[in-house]
Amino acid sequence: MNVFTTRKSLNEALAPLKEAKKSVGFVPTMGALHEGHLALVKRALTESDCVVVSIFVNPTQFNNMQDLDKYPRMLQADVDLLNSIGEVLVFAPTVEEVYPENDAYSPLDLDGIDQVMEGEFRPGHFQGVVHVVRNLFQIVQPTHAYFGLKDFQQVAVIRLLTKKYNFPIQLIACPTLRETSGLAMSSRNLRLTESERKDALIIFQTLKFIQTLKASKSPKEVKELAMEYFSAGKLRLEYLEIVDGSSLKALDAAWSEYSVVCIAAYCGAVRLIDNLELV
């Protein structure tokens, strides 16, 4: 499999494909790949002539240096996994390749959607995401880009940055893959002990609990009951928000057509996020 570490070598490989007007699907990741990532890559493989998967642990989106240090890195295993599902170009750049010295970036106005939930608890996180995605989009210049709804708010931010920077890229948001237990797949799950994996199930159980209450109660009432339900578990809740899926504004008295519940919580030292679209 082709692993490219410089933008120049990747561009050389992509040039003939672009000249031939082939579609390029792009799946940005931070590695430690699991079935959730592979679902994105498989979809890209069916929809695009060629697929680029980037593996880059982006330092600018971590507001906690310990989290960055502990983030799992396993490039060879990732490449082997990708090899087993099809032909893709892997882009595994250094920090200097993604952020060259002459790289100018001024924070992008995200119309407030970067201030709530993840944005509130991880200051600077979304500007880091915007910066890396902008640079990766500029390097790869894909026709299609695939993102997971597991990072629901991130998808909203990427939609907005694509529009604001006028990238001619079609974004495809893909559903969350879960373990059979309901736990959302995440690279961070590698850091959970067996008993923490069980404790973490309270997140999905709470999301489902909220779904069952939706028909008979207001978002405000549901949130109160859900917080109580969640507190019976062992996790430390950071936030539980019921929002309109487009504006990300918290819902209070009435449901919106597209209501989503988002949760972030610590399971031991590991921060987990999950969400559910309420139907």
- The binding site for ligand AMP (CB under 6 A) comprises 29-30, 36-37, 39-40, 147-148, 150-151, 174, 176-177, 184-187
| Nearest distance in Å: CB 218, ligand AMP | 30
Q: How far is the CB of 259 from ligand AMP (least distance, A)?
A: 20
Q: Are strands 270-278 and 236-244 parallel, antiparallel or unpaired?
A: unpaired
Task: Give whichever of 31 and 233 is closer to ligand AMP, judged by the CB atom.
Answer: 31
Residue closer to ligand AMP by CB (options 1, 190) is: 190
Contacts of 216 (CB under 8 A, 6+ apart): none
Which residues share a beta bridge with 26?
Answer: 52, 145
Pairing of strands 89-91, 50-55: parallel
Q: Provide, rounded to whole angstroms, the least separation between the CB of residue 44 and ligand AMP.
A: 11
Q: Quick check: helix, strand or coil at residue 227?
A: helix
Q: How many Å apart are CA 44 and CA 47, to the nearest integer?
A: 5
Residue nearer to ligand AMP on the CB measure, 133 or 278: 133
Please, what is the minimum distance in Å from the beta carbon of residue 161 to ligand AMP? 14
**Dihedral sign computed on CA atoms, order 87, 88, 89, 92:** negative
Nearer of residues 30 and 240 to ligand AMP, judged by Cβ:
30
What are the beta bridge partners of residue 144? Answer: 25, 170
Output 40 or 222, the one with its CB closest to ligand AMP.
40
Kindly report the backbone phi and psi dihedral angles of residue 145, in degrees, each rounded to the nearest multiple of 5, phi listed first. -135, 140
- Name the active-site residue from 34, 37, 125, 144: 37
SS3 65: helix
- Asked whether the beta carbons of 242 and 222 are under 8 A apart, the reply is yes
Q: Treating both helix axes as pointing N-terminal to C-terminal, what angle do 125-140 and 152-164 enclose, rounded to 10 degrees?
A: 60
Please state the closest distance from residue 80 (CB atom) to ligand AMP, in A: 17
Is residue 37 annotated as part of the catalytic site, yes or no?
yes
Question: 218 or 238, CB closer to ligand AMP?
Answer: 238
CB crowding 148-185: b at 16 or more within 10 Å, else e: bbbbbbbbbbbebbbeeeebebeebbbebbebeeebbb
- Smallest separation (angstroms) from ligand AMP to the CB of 27: 7
Active site members: 37
